[in-house]
């Protein structure tokens, strides 16, 4: 481990982002900025009920309105396509479609879509649609949804359960039997989401002659979306062109194939291009939420306070999610032991349907909740045992000497120094001093608390892990694709199957390729957008699970090295030298020990494309390579159901100091210190900003954000006035130190960083708040820690009733 390792080349330098000037000048191309001649605009009528039978849908008056070009109902859609293909198939999935058919199952579910000359006309026309709803009982509580007598979302299913299973690794019974202490707690996990500032959208066009369907969408998973959309439209994937322009934030939320299908169907019906962009209420109510649920956790400890086993009963409220259920369950397996050497694990999974917005991918998927439960229970244990929470953690962290470390679940922790990370974080925060301040403040009656969370940040999902839930093969491993091409003039073009949404890929990729080809990053132009007819891609292409460092780097290096090999081979031929003697630097290929014998990259490119007879005899022309990288770290579940759910592991420790206002319940974050280690940093400036941003997500989720449903399944938080996002006054300044323990298992030694802050921050702040309220005996078992919730808890504690 080194602190900011020195770098020879471009990788590792904190370069400014090459893509920034057009964003700063208002010249980016987001989805809603795109225009086509004759464009129609789409609006959707959405269910006001959580659960209701659709008795009648009458669109005649709307369809007859001036300016309305086409109207689609659920019946229309169902008549034109096979049911939606689930991405994670549960046994006997019910038939569902992009628009509601027969029933609605959550507030905000699309019922009718129509296209009109402008959005205002389209929305006016929705008022003329007459829908008769026959309300049915809502199912809001996930545990009640599991009751045999609970109202069922899908009558054709035996229950609302999508997946129930018990996974056991190691001797859990033995560990609990011999434990000196067992601590248990029940945590309620709330619903929140990252709310990218740009909402989801789509524009679709059908070429009448060729039948080619072109769809522009800010979809983060084009590799996966393409197949779903083509199947729904009944066209081969080769006739579907999917383009992703600049994406205004994603965080996993932006994938909604049903909207792409609806837009394409309206384009087909009208013969004109159509565009649909969610408004904020639609996005908050119906795009996706991080799943809520309940986690019952028990931790077994020996007499010395060593963690022996963890038992987690996890109920995940999927809402009405049939597209990619079980993600919030499965990913918890990747950080269920955190940074600790816990050798026995039991995971009781239940993923259940309720009449709420479908759950979906959201920065960290399930891992923030798992870290919250584990790091909270560690604090509960420390209090029970009378140990300092930092000391109890230190005693249980996996030592650096034990890495690479195979977890009982089957993951391999690749690099890092967890005890050193904790030591440095405590030093950065001034932990001892904070404890002294706390003691003084408590004596004055002030409520000051200090919270620590140590977290593993797993990244690069292994899609084989879905087999744990589906019990059948079909999708496995993970990879990414890249194209590197040296143009005739020596400039370099790179394209990948991934889509940037703020992560700085164009800059990081230019740094990587510059090092491989011996050119400056300014000579490398990275395609800012994804185009399925231009960029190389595969099923797992796109932005998810922090996979850039695990797979994209491999694809980029693979393609760049193939191009470099050809550059060297051709140059050696031209220079009459042995390829082994050719060196590349600053855009020039020279011969070792023979100064002056050299050709430029542009001269070699000229030979490769134009002066073809100067190529080595028999060699193909061109100076371009594609590489479809497959992570060698992925496996499939073994007979004991062990599998590496994710493939590389960053780590961090967050330390928060807070003060709770006794009169109002407001939480003020007085200090926030972060030490993290994501392996080799390709661009430290981008890395640190990712840490800031993801930590802010966790702070919002911990203190402010919550989707509130009432007992009838009505969503009460559909604007930014009641779904509160953190502002510049809510997010404290962060003190960040990074360690760099390169992974021996990834192509560049880099590991994931995008989710890092979002995973431990919930626990760090919650631990600090509980510590602050310890004199009152308040326990923190649910988030967000809003002033109202804390005030109520303090008031109850004051009345002697406990929280």
Partner 1 sequence: MSVTGGAAVAGRHAIAITVNDVPRRATVAARTSLLDCLREEWALTGTHAGCEHGVCGACTVLLDGRPARACLTLAVQADGARVTTIEGLAEGDRLHPVQEGFWECHGLQCGFCTPGMVLTAVHLLETNPAPTEIEIREALAGNLCMCTGYQNIVAAVAWAAARLRERSATP
Which residues contribute to the site for partner 1 (CB under 8 A)? 16-17, 20-21, 23-28, 30, 32-33, 35, 43-46, 66, 108, 118, 120-124, 126-127, 194-198, 246-251, 277, 279-282, 285, 501-504, 685-686, 689, 692-697, 718-721, 725, 727-729, 731, 733-734, 757
Minimum distance from residue 53 beta carbon to partner 1 (Å): 21
Dist CA 595 CA 593 (whole Å): 6
Dist CA 14 CA 687 (whole Å): 9
Helices (H), ranges, 251-360: 257-270, 280-286, 327-330
Dist CA 700 CA 720 (whole Å): 13
Q: Which is nearer to partner 1, 478 or 715 (CB)?
A: 715
Element (H, E) at 481: strand 479-486
Minimum distance from residue 290 beta carbon to partner 1 (Å): 14
Q: Which is nearer to partner 1, 613 or 729 (CB)?
A: 729
Tokens for 250, please give them.
């994603």
Q: Which is nearer to partner 1, 248 or 749 (CB)?
A: 248
Question: Considering only CA atoms, which of 354, 217, 358 is closest in space to residue 285?
Answer: 358
Minimum distance from residue 499 beta carbon to partner 1 (Å): 12
Q: Which is nearer to partner 1, 149 or 733 (CB)?
A: 733
Tokens for 685, please give them.
């400036």
Tokens for 655, please give them.
């330390």
Minimum distance from residue 674 beta carbon to partner 1 (Å): 11
Residues whose CB falls within 8 Å of the CB of residue 191, separated by 6 or more in sequence, listed in order: 289, 290, 291, 292, 317, 356, 357, 706, 707, 709
Minimum distance from residue 63 beta carbon to partner 1 (Å): 16
Dist CA 373 CA 183 (whole Å): 12
Q: Which is nearer to partner 1, 543 or 741 (CB)?
A: 543
Q: Which is nearer to partner 1, 141 or 282 (CB)?
A: 282
Question: Considering only CA atoms, which of 658, 739, 661 is closest in space to residue 699?
Answer: 658
Q: In 675-712, which positions are buried (b, 16+ CB within 10 angstroms) versus exposed (e)? A: bbbbbbbbbbebbbbbbebbbbbbbbbbbbbbbebeee
Element (H, E) at 119: helix 119-126
Q: Which is nearer to partner 1, 191 or 376 (CB)?
A: 191
Q: Which is nearer to partner 1, 516 or 705 (CB)?
A: 705
Minimum distance from residue 256 beta carbon to partner 1 (Å): 16
Minimum distance from residue 662 beta carbon to partner 1 (Å): 23
Q: Which is nearer to partner 1, 359 or 503 (CB)?
A: 503
Cβ neighbours around 527 below 10 Å, total: 17
Give Cα 546 to chain centroid, integer Å.
Answer: 7
Minimum distance from residue 179 beta carbon to partner 1 (Å): 40
Residues whose CB falls within 8 Å of the CB of residue 468, separated by 6 or more in sequence, listed in order: 165, 167, 330, 333, 637, 641, 643
Q: Which is nearer to partner 1, 42 or 625 (CB)?
A: 42
Q: Supply the DSSP symbol for 548.
A: I
Minimum distance from residue 764 beta carbon to partner 1 (Å): 14
Helix/strand/coil for 665: coil
Dist CA 650 CA 600 (whole Å): 40
DSSP track, 326-353: THHHHGGGGSTTTTB---EEEEEEEEEE
Minimum distance from residue 327 beta carbon to partner 1 (Å): 21
Give the Å distances, CA to CA, from 470 to 316, 332, 467, 476, 645: 17, 17, 5, 12, 14
Minimum distance from residue 245 beta carbon to partner 1 (Å): 11
Minimum distance from residue 283 beta carbon to partner 1 (Å): 9
Q: Which is nearer to partner 1, 108 or 742 (CB)?
A: 108
Q: Which is nearer to partner 1, 736 or 790 (CB)?
A: 736
Q: Which is nearer to partner 1, 334 or 717 (CB)?
A: 717
Dist CA 483 CA 466 (whole Å): 29
Dist CA 354 CA 518 (whole Å): 55
Minimum distance from residue 21 beta carbon to partner 1 (Å): 7
Minimum distance from residue 128 beta carbon to partner 1 (Å): 10
Q: Which is nearer to partner 1, 82 or 118 (CB)?
A: 118
Burial label for 452, CB within 10 Å (0-12, 13-18, 19+), is: buried
Binning the chain into helix, strand and coil, the percentages to the nearest 5 are 30, 25, 40
Minimum distance from residue 26 beta carbon to partner 1 (Å): 2
Dist CA 767 CA 790 (whole Å): 14
Give Cα 549 to chain centroid, integer Å.
Answer: 14
Q: Which is nearer to partner 1, 401 or 727 (CB)?
A: 727
Minimum distance from residue 414 beta carbon to partner 1 (Å): 27
Q: Which is nearer to partner 1, 123 or 531 (CB)?
A: 123
Q: In 210-245, which positions are buried (b, 16+ CB within 10 angstroms) versus exposed (e)? A: eeebbbbbbbbbbbbbbebbbbbbebeeeebbbbbb
What does the angle CA 687 – CA 692 – CA 693 come to, to the nearest 5 degrees?
95
């Amino acid at each position: 481990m080194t602190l900011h390792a020195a770098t020879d080349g471009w990788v590792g330098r904190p370069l400014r982002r090459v893509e920034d000037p057009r964003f700063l000048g208002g010249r980016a191309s987001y989805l809603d900025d795109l225009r086509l001649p004759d464009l129609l605009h789409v609006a959707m009528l959405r269910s006001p009920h959580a659960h209701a039978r659709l008795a009648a849908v009458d669109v005649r008056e709307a369809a007859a309105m001036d300016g309305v070009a086409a109207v689609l109902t659920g019946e229309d859609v169902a008549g034109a396509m096979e049911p939606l293909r689930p991405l994670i198939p549960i046994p006997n999935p019910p038939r569902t479609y992009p628009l509601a058919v027969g029933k609605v199952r959550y507030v905000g579910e699309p019922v009718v879509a129509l296209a009109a000359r402008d959005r205002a006309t389209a929305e006016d026309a929705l008022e003329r649609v007459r829908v008769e709803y026959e309300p049915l009982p809502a199912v809001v509580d996930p545990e009640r949804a599991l009751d045999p007598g609970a109202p069922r979302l899908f009558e054709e299913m035996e229950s609302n359960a999508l997946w129930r299973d018990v996974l056991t690794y190691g001797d859990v019974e033995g560990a609990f039997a011999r434990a000196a202490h067992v601590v248990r707690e029940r945590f309620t996990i709330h619903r929140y989401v990252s709310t990218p500032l740009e909402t989801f959208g789509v524009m679709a066009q059908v070429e009448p002659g060729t039948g080619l369907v072109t769809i522009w969408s800010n979809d983060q998973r084009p590799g996966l979306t393409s197949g779903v959309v083509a199947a729904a439209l009944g066209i081969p994937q080769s006739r579907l062109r999917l383009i992703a322009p600049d994406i205004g934030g994603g965080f996993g939320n932006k994938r909604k194939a049903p909207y792409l299908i609806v837009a394409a169907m309206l384009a087909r019906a009208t013969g004109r291009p159509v565009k649909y962009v969610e408004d904020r209420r639609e996005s908050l109510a119906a795009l996706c939420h991080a799943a809520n649920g309940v986690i019952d956790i028990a931790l077994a400890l020996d007499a010395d306070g060593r963690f022996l086993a963890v038992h987690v009963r996890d109920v995940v409220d999927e809402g009405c999610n049939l597209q990619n259920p079980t993600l919030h369950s499965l990913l918890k397996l990747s950080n269920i032991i955190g940074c600790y050497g816990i050798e026995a694990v039991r995971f009781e999974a239940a993923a259940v349907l309720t009449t709420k917005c479908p759950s979906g991918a959201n920065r960290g998927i399930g891992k923030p909740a798992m870290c919250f439960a584990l790091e909270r229970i560690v604090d509960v244990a420390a209090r029970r045992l009378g140990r300092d929470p930092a000391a109890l953690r230190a005693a249980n962290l996996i030592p650096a000497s034990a890495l690479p470390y195979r977890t009982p679940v089957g993951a391999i922790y690749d690099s890092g120094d967890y005890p050193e990370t904790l030591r440095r974080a405590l030093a950065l925060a001034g932990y001892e001093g904070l404890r002294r301040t706390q003691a003084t403040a408590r004596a004055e009656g002030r409520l000051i608390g200090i919270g620590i969370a140590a977290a593993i940040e797993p990244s690069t999902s292994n899609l084989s892990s879905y087999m744990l839930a589906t019990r059948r093969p079909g999708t496995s491993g993970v990879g990414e694709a890249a194209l590197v091409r040296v143009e005739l003039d020596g400039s370099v073009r790179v394209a990948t199957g991934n889509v940037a949404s703020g992560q700085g890929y164009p800059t990081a990729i230019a740094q990587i390729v510059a090092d491989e080809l011996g050119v400056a990053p300014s000579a490398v132009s990275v395609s800012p957008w994804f185009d399925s007819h231009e960029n190389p891609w595969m099923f797992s292409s796109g932005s998810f699970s922090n996979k850039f460092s695990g797979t994209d780097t491999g694809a980029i290096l693979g393609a760049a090295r193939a191009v470099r090999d050809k550059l060297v081979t051709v140059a050696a031929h031209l220079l009459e030298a042995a390829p082994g003697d050719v060196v590349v630097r600053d855009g020039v290929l020279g011969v070792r020990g023979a100064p002056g014998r050299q050709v430029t990259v542009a001269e070699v490119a000229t030979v490769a494309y134009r002066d073809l007879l100067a190529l080595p005899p028999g060699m193909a022309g061109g100076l371009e390579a594609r590489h479809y990288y497959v992570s060698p770290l992925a496996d499939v579940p073994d007979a004991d159901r062990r599998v590496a759910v994710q493939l590389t592991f960053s780590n961090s420790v967050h330390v928060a100091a807070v003060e709770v206002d006794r009169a109002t319940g407001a939480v003020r974050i007085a200090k926030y210190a972060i030490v993290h280690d994501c392996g080799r940093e390709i661009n430290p400036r981008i890395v640190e900003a990712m840490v800031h941003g993801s930590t802010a997500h966790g702070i919002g989720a911990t203190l402010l954000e919550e989707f509130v449903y009432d007992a009838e399944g009505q969503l009460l938080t559909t604007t930014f006035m009641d779904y509160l996002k953190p502002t510049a006054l809510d997010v404290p300044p962060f003190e960040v130190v990074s360690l760099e323990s390169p992974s021996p298992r990834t192509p560049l030694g880099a590991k994931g960083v995008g989710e890092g802050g979002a995973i431990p921050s919930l626990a760090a702040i919650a631990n600090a708040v509980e510590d602050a309220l310890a004199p009152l005996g308040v326990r923190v078992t649910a988030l967000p820690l809003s002033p109202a919730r804390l005030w109520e808890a303090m008031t109850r504690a004051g009345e002697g009733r406990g929280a």
